[in-house]
Amino acid sequence: MTDDAVPPTFPGTLIDRMGITILEVAPERAVGTMPVEGNTQPYGLLHGGASAVLAETLGSLAAAAHAGEGRIAVGIELNATHHRGATSGTVTGTARALHLGSRVATYEIVVEDSESRRVCTARLTCMVMAGRDR
């Protein structure tokens, strides 16, 4: 995505329901934000699953950019460590490529709160393969 490009939207998907905004997508890196409000667990903290959704979204979009035209990338393994809670504001996720192969792409995704404190660290591995008809 270039600086003047319109961020992609995904109506009717989990990305949309979680309130995720995609800011940047490239094979090496993807960045997006997500509100804490509406994505909490009963104690008022950002749900760990919400952090995982943001992480897998960003890593998968970057892997799809790496895969290129006519190919797709699907997540095959995700792990996440939750470091601190977030109770308000917006979190920002940044996916950075660790490995970009012809069949596998792996990303580290760091989720930070509005004060740049690490909330979650995740690693996503995607399989890169030929596109499929739905």
Instruction: List the structure tokens of 51.
Output: 């952090």
CA pair distance 44, 39, nearest whole angstrom: 9
SS3 for 55? helix
Catalytic residue among 28, 37, 56, 112: 56
**56 annotated active-site:** yes
- Sheet of 29-35: strand order equals 21-26, 29-35, 90-100, 104-112, 118-130, 71-82
> Which residues are annotated as catalytic?
56
